[in-house]
Structure 1
Amino acid sequence: MKYRQRMASIGAGLAFGVTAALVSAPALAAGLIEEITIVGTQRVEPETVKTYLTFQEGDTFNSRQLNRSLKKLFDTGLFADVIFKREGGNLVINLVENPVINRIAFEGNRKIKNDTLETEVTLRPRVVYTRTRVQQDVERILTLYRRSGRFAATVEPKVIQLDQNRVDLVFEIKEGLPTGIEKIRFVGNHEYSDGKLGEVVRTKETRWYNFLTADDNYDPDRLNYDKELLRRFYLARGFADFKVTSAIAELSPSREEFFITYTIDEGIRYEIDQVNINNTLEGFDEKTVADIPTLENGDWYNADEVDSSIEDLIDSIGFQGFPFVRVTPSIDRDVENRKINLTFNVEEGPRIFVERIDIKGNFRTLDEVVRREFQLVEGDALNTAKLKRSEKRINDLNFFEKVEVSRSPGSAPDQTVIDVTVAEKSTGSLSIGAGYSSSDGPLADFGISEGNLLGKGQRLSFSASIAAEKTRFNIGFTEPYFLDREVAAGFDLYKITEERQDESSYDSSSVGFALRAGYPIGEYLTQSWSYGLDQTTVENVPTSASRLIKSQEGDEITSSISHALTYDVRDSKILPTEGYKISLSNKVAGLGGTTYYLRNQMNGAYYYPIGDQWIVSTKATLAHILGLGDDVNMQDRFFLGGQNLRGFEDNGVGPRDSASTDSLGGEYMFNGSTEMRFPLGLPSEYQIAGTLFGDYGILTELTPKDANTIDKNALRASVGVGISWVSPMGPIGLDWAFPVLKEDHDKTESFRFSFGTRF
């Protein structure tokens, strides 16, 4: 109340001062100003006040000059009231100074901290208080709360009068509840339902189960992002004329929720009629890239595929010795027949060279770590495809929350500066987990890692996993650029103990280390080498165990070298939707130690999208291990069942002892899986999907070594359904599988459940 009274008095004084000056101006406009007297100043020197006047002693009284001076004094922000008064030849200027702020405080704020609010407001202690600036700061605070989805927030400034014309300024804040989204409506959509488009936009309707996300709070910036998401969605499905005509957010009278309406114009859906390449680049044969555009006659027009084709064309042409190239698409619409003729125009681009690469925002990460991911260096011809791949490589480091790569003019017309702006994020992690697995039983794990050690991009990690039937400890270190070359080198130290009484009547423990190095041969092809030394102990073998297992009780030392080639063109290494991956690995044991074998393995995986969120994948593994002068030990053999052949128990398939029914493993293995992943009609942000799958495989010794061994070289197969959920508590998987091809001695398992969590 004191603040309101004070503000009212200041406002009244201001009105009075202006009125007094305007009314008295004509009366003052006569005679000379003999003396100017300043009254009421406390902090401001009278001579300072006179510097703001447009007249001085000896001048004639002039109403225009008086009004200009009055305005200038108010514009300084130093005075709450200014009154001109004439006393004969003397002009008396009565001033009321604005108070000085002693302290600024915030009350009632919980969601936004004081530090954030202090950086937002413009007023500071020891700064002159003005009502205008206070109201401006109130709006700034309200804007900050609205950005965080709290449109019901209110801010009331309070002024506490102190002596010596000082005040304390307090912003009393009532944050209110987050302003949710009651309803999202779409107008003008015919091809896709409201539910489908609701999955496309980032903004979601407020529901009780959305407590882990802020996407159901209104954000005007997110509304603009949603318009772009809708545009991309339609352009990728043939609607080349699509546009969002309006996106309106209406706040309810209670200010507690919004109603959002997107009005769209879908237009018509176009098919590709012809795809052509128009080449004006001298010395270049367009036939060499004729198969690069992925769009074909009869396909629906897809803007994403057009962009991808442009990048591939620029990339391919650049590698053929044409660094200065520009590819632009031209679209010729046939509205009547709903056809599009697409032409990629290949022409010589401007000759631009990279003058400098500037990196900003990396306070902890060394410049070298970012710079070495660039496929361009200073002096290179600018290649936009390489520039985009460089940005992706920097993002893949996972050291930064944001990576922005832009260009600015250089010192000459043919020079450009590449500006890299990054925002660092925490690269260390601590995890404590608990869960359950059908194969290992109850489990708990602990892990600590640093992915950007000392800002050099090095990775150091320690992990421990303790389960009812398997325990593992591991320490690992990786230097991604060993000896300043693109070679990822590192080591692992580990200890593993397994209880395998149920499957094979023995327990085992292994301790060892591995040295490893990997490097790219091409953009998609990598090669890796490793050396490992391992000591394995087989113990707790009962008298009823298989003769093969009894013969291997004790210690074995394995000294081995491994090699692998991997060709990976998948679109994602975490959750791929298209592309394929092929790997070939070899391992030779016998460089010392007591174990001798040659192990070869080939893996392949292929992913193909058949619809939106419908992904078909097929995977296969072919492996063989050959003993070099001796039988292959149990720990080195292949086992089949469980995760790699659902519908069967772990180690439930393959050679088995006829008396003890122990699983003996095999020396030859082939297994594969064909799976279709599909949505279950739930919002995509829940990350719940269904699967239909078929698994198959063979595990055998080829030539049984013991008459008591049951080894039928027969194909096993199963079919099933599953549900996967990437829950906030960790991944959860449910699989129901039913064997359709099996042998009498196989051990089956219809249901598998896995659950893991991180705190």
Structure 2
Amino acid sequence: MPTTEAEQARGLPVVSIQFLGLRKMAREDQLARMQVRVGQPFLPDALSRDVRELWNTGYFDDIEVDLERTDRGVALRFQMRERPSIKAVEFSGNSEIENDKLSEAIDVKAGTVISYPALRKATQKIRDMYAEKGYFLAEAAFEVVPQRDGEIIVRFTVKEHEQVSVRRVTFIGNDHIPEEQLREVLITGNMSLLSFGSGGAFRQDAFDRDVFIISSLYYDRGFLSVQINAPRVMLTPDRNGIELAITINEGPQFRIRSLRLFERDQDGRDVEPIGGRRHLREMVTARQGDVFNRTELAKDLQSVQTLYRDAGYANVKAEPATDIDQDRREVDVAVPIVRGPLVKFGRIEVRGNSKTRDKVIRRELEIAEGELFSETRLERSRRRVMALGYFERVDISTDQAAEGEPMNVNIEVGERPTGTFQVGAGFSSIESFIATAQVQQANLFGTGQSLSIQGQVSGLRQLINIRWFEPYFLDTNFSASVDLFDQLRIYNDFSQSSLGGSLTFGYPLIDPTVRAFIAYNLQQDKVSTATTSTFLGTASSVSVFQRLPLANLFNYGITSSIRPTISYDSRDNRLFPTSGVYLSGSVELASSLLGSENQFVRYRTTGRFYYPLGAGFVLKLNTESGVVTSPSSA
């Protein structure tokens, strides 16, 4: 059998390698993929391997190799026809997924050489992206459109069809957790308010979350080797829904054989923990023989870490290690604690407060630069800043240059509007024209002060209220507020006017929830049967009450009183609360000793309760009660 030209050239030195037909591809890139080199002995097997390697790149439609033997050796000439480059990538038919997201997800890009394997892979990727959003019937195809300049346009066409809803989710192999409990934690397949019984659309991210939650349920019941397999997806006969079958391999249930909680220093030697070994062990509720519960153990270890962090050990580590005995179905748990060095607070930076002054935020902090680190005080500081009501969010992060260095604190806030301006007008057959106006600013000039001005005028009413509040009077822990009012009410037979105000000071007893207040109120009331008018109307001067002692029926004269109050406030936000309780109780005494012509004792209690209902809804319960007696009977 005659030998081929390549076999006859075996062993001869390669003197040259040429590439013909390259337009955009670089010669150096092709040489880098080849084993054949100039100056090395020629091997036919190496040439065959190089041709396959060049072809597998997907950049060429045709590759031919010419071999020429000369006196000096072997000359190789590669005749290559490049595939066209992609001028643009277009999408059509897609409305649920934007072009930018599709383009980012696939490897087919403008300016690259066309690769049909890459096109097929991109088409499947588009189908997968739609399947993750519940469009299991979505179709995708590609089209190559040649252009005059030798380039091409790749056009992907999508037919989305209808989104497929999850009709039913079944579980296989769940012997120890009832199907009802598993369904309670699922998002997939649970109906929403707008699903109308269809079970809701399938979403891959929601299903991944469901798998994680189900795994956690099993871990908390001691099934440490549980496996949740990929679901089996079946289209319903009408092709508008799917049924999911989730197979669970529970494995055995493990109980705790031993649990060791101990502290070691940097050298690995056992040391006495904070609070003592007994106190440390009592902080963990798990006992020998109990079913292993990962969530409860993690919760208890978080309390242990908080104990150390509140003592200044910000980098404490308490990572549990488990040793599983498959035969006995028992697990040994060891939790070594390494406290690390003491850490102090470093710089405290406040960002995002374009309006609110720094000191308004800093005075709510329970931490200070140079103090020992405390996780609890850091979290309480975040809640106190959030409770001001000036911010939509308050994020606190920490960073440390190196272990043992001060811990810097970054407070990032997002401000929200704190001012309101309201104007209203109307007409009534009784009151004639009615006009109202209100201006309120809860964060006046970014100082934390609040100012409210309210006015109302009609044919029968004229009201003006002004209130100013300073939470830190003269930069102390005392709060101060001033209320002023001027009110006129006109009835058919008489008019009543009130002019007065109050001055209130407060001080925290248990900062920041319990505060005590003392207020002084001064008010003058007048009742008259004479003709009285507002800006917009006049009352009748004819009165059947002219012969009656009106002063006995309505407050008349000067009322001078003091009102001590104690309040409890656990609301998460003073302006826009979503949870918490506000309680207050007060006793108001108006006595002749204070120069009051009206004398009484008024007891009043107020309660406001806030409960989050989810989806942005909050339930508020408001209660109020009071009793008024004379000083002699009090």
TM over 0.5: yes
After TM superposition, list the pairs within 5 Å mapping 1:654-665 onto structure 2. Answer: none
Equivalence for 1:626:
589
Q: 1:560 Cα deviation (Å)?
A: 2.4
Determine the structure 2 residue equivalent to 1:668. 603
1:243 and 1:265 in contact (8 A); partners too: yes
Change (3 A) 1:68 1:151: same
1:680-759 correspondence runs (5 A)? 698-703=625-630
Q: Is the 8 A contact 2:315 2:340 kept in 1?
A: yes
Q: Contact 1:218/1:258 (CA < 8 Å) preserved in 2? A: no
| 8 Å Cα contact 1:162/1:168 also seen in 2 | yes
Task: Please state how far the C-alpha of 1:165 moved relative to its aligned partner.
Answer: 2.0
Indicate yes or no: 2:112 matched with 1:158. no
Once the 2 structures are TM-superposed, how far is the Cα of residue 227 of structure 1 from its aligned partner?
3.9
Partner Cα distance (1:188, 1:398) in 2: 52
Shift of 1:108: 1.4
Contact 2:310–2:374 under 8 Å retained in 1: no
C-alpha contact (below 8 Å) 1:515/1:530 kept by paired residues: yes
Q: In the alignment, what sits opposite 1:561?
A: 504
What amino acid sits opposite 2:506 in the alignment? H
Q: Give 1:264 deviation, angstroms.
A: 7.1
1:5 counterpart residue number: none
Is the aligned partner of 1:537 residue 2:487?
yes
**Aligned-residue offset at 1:207:** 3.6
- 1:509 is aligned to 463
Where does residue 252 of structure 1 map in the other structure? 234
Return the match for 2:202 from 194, 218, 223. Answer: 218
**Do 1:458 and 1:478's aligned partners in 2 also have CA atoms closer than 8 Å?**
no
1:85 maps to 2:66: yes
Give SS of 1:112's match: coil
Contact in 2 for aligned 1:281/1:348 (Cα 8 Å)? no
Give the one of 124, 146, 162 matched to 1:177. Answer: 162
The C-alpha deviation readout for 1:719-751, integer Å capped at 9, x for no partner, is xxxxxxxxxxxxxxxxxxxxxxxxxxxxxxxxx
CA contact (8 A) 1:459 1:479 kept: no
Alignment-derived partner of residue 205 in structure 1: 189
Assess, with a 3 A threshold, how the Cα gap between structure 1 residues 481 and 584 changes in structure 2: closer, same or farther.
Answer: same
1:478 maps to 443
Q: CA deviation at 1:205?
A: 1.5
Could you say if the C-alpha distance between residues 286 and 460 of structure 1 is closer, same or farther in structure 2, counting changes exceeding 3 Å?
Answer: same
* Alpha carbons of structure 1 residues 107 and 699: separation in structure 2 relative to 1, 3 Å: same
Determine the structure 1 residue equivalent to 2:520: 588
Q: Does 1:73 align with 2:31?
A: no
User: Which AA in structure 2 matches 1:629?
Assistant: G
Measure the CA separation in 2 of the matches of 1:67 and 1:30: 15
Residue 222 of structure 1, CA deviation: 3.2
Contact residue 315 and residue 386 of structure 1 kept, 8 A:
no
State whether residues 150 and 176 of structure 1, in contact with CA within 8 Å, keep that contact through their aligned partners in structure 2: yes
**Do the aligned residues in 2 keep the contact of 1:151 with 1:256 (CA within 8 Å)?**
no
Q: Report if aligned partners of 1:324, 1:382 keep a CA contact under 8 Å in 2.
A: no
Displacement of 1:63? 0.9
1:492 paired residue number: 451
Aligned mates of 2:26, 2:34 — CA distance in 1: 14
TM-aligned CA deviation for residue 99 of structure 1: 1.0
Cα distance, 1:66 vs structure 2:
1.6
Q: In 2, are the aligned partners of 1:33 and 1:61 still within 8 Å (CA)?
A: yes
CA distance in 1, matches of 2:450, 2:394: 30
What residue identity is the alignment partner of 2:96? K
1-structure distance, mates of 2:519, 2:333: 50
Per the TM alignment, residue 160 of structure 1 is displaced from its structure 2 partner at its CA by 0.7
Structural mapping, 1:89-108, within 5 Å: 91-108=76-93
Contact 2:228–2:249 (Cα < 8 Å) also in 1: yes
**What SS does the corresponding residue of 1:168 show, helix, strand or coil?**
strand
1:354-391 deviation per Cα after TM superposition (whole angstroms, max 9, x unaligned): 798999x999999x99x979988888766666677788
Identity in percent? 14
Q: Is the 8 A contact 1:515 1:532 kept in 2?
A: yes
Cα distance in structure 2, aligned partners of 1:599 and 1:256: 67
Q: Secondary structure at the match of 2:149?
A: coil
Residue in 1 aligned with 2:179? 194
Query: Partners of 1:31 and 1:347 in 2: how far apart?
Result: 70
| 1:105, distance to aligned residue in structure 2 (A) | 1.4
Amino acid at match of 1:84: V
Measured after TM superposition, the shift of residue 161 of structure 1 is: 0.3
- In the other structure, the counterpart of 2:339 is 349
Tell me if structure 1 keeps the 8 A contact 2:602–2:627.
Answer: yes
Q: Counterparts of 1:196 and 1:301 in 2: how far apart (Å)?
A: 19
8 Å CA contact 1:249, 1:258 repeated in 2? no
Q: In structure 1, what is the Cα distance between the partners aligned to 2:16 and 2:86?
A: 33
- Secondary structure at the aligned position of 2:50 is classed as helix
Q: Please list every run of 5 or more consecutive structure 2 residues that lacks an aligned counterpart in the other structure.
A: 265-269, 427-433, 526-557, 572-579
Aligned in 2, Cα 1:496/1:191: closer, same or farther, shift over 3 Å?
Answer: farther
Q: Distance in 1 between matches of 2:151 and 2:29?
A: 21
Q: Compute the displacement of 1:167 (Å).
A: 0.5
Report the Cα offset of residue 78 of structure 1.
3.9
Contact 2:312–2:374 (Cα < 8 Å) also in 1: no
Which of 540, 560, 563 aligns to 1:599? It is 563
Deviation per residue, 1:301-347 (Å, 9 max, x gap): 976665555444544555567777666789999xxxx999999x796
The CA distance in 2 between the partners of 1:138 and 1:363, in whole Å, is 47
Instruction: Quickly say closer, same or farther: Cα 1:65–1:255, change in 2 above 3 A.
Output: farther
Contact 2:135/2:163 (8 A) holds in 1: yes
Change (3 A) 1:467 1:250: farther
CA contact (8 A) 2:308 2:339 kept: no
CA displacement at 1:152 relative to structure 2? 3.2
How much does 1:259 deviate? 0.9
Question: What amino acid is the match of 2:339?
Answer: G
How many Å separate the matches in 1 of 2:331 and 2:46? 70
Q: Distance in 2 between matches of 1:310 and 1:512?
A: 52
Partner Cα distance (2:117, 2:411) in 1: 36
1:430 aligned residue? none
How many Å separate the matches in 1 of 2:109 and 2:12? Answer: 45
Cα distance in 1 between the residues matched to 2:352 and 2:137: 38
Unpaired runs of 5+ residues, structure 1, are 1-22, 423-450, 483-488, 570-580, 608-616, 638-665, 679-683, 706-711, 714-759
Aligned to 1:657: none
Does the 8 Å CA contact 2:583/2:606 hold for their aligned counterparts? Answer: yes
3-state SS of paired residue (1:110): coil
Residues 592 and 342 of structure 1, relative CA distance in 2, 3 Å threshold: farther
- For the pair 1:132 / 2:117, whether they are aligned, the reply is yes
SS in 2 for 1:158: strand
Q: Deviations over 1:138-178 (max 9, x none)?
A: 34434443443434333222111012320111121223333
Q: Relative to 1, partners in 2 of residues 1:365 and 1:538: Cα closer, same or farther, differing over 3 Å?
A: closer
- TM (norm. structure 1) is 0.55
CA deviation after TM superposition for structure 1 residue 512, in Å: 1.8
Given that residues 215 and 226 in structure 2 are in contact (C-alpha distance below 8 angstroms), is that contact kept between their aligned partners in structure 1?
yes
Alignment coverage as a number of residue pairs: 558
Three-state SS of the structure 2 residue aligned to 1:599 is strand
CA contact (8 A) 1:532 1:561 kept: yes
Partners of 1:670 and 1:421 in 2: how far apart? 37
* Partner Cα distance (1:61, 1:217) in 2: 62
Q: Name the larger-Rg structure.
A: 2
SS in 2 for 1:700: strand
Structure 2 residue identity aligned to 1:229: I
TM-superposed CA distance for 1:668, in Å, is: 1.7
Q: How does 1:29-48 map to 2 (within 5 A)?
A: 29=10, 38-44=19-25
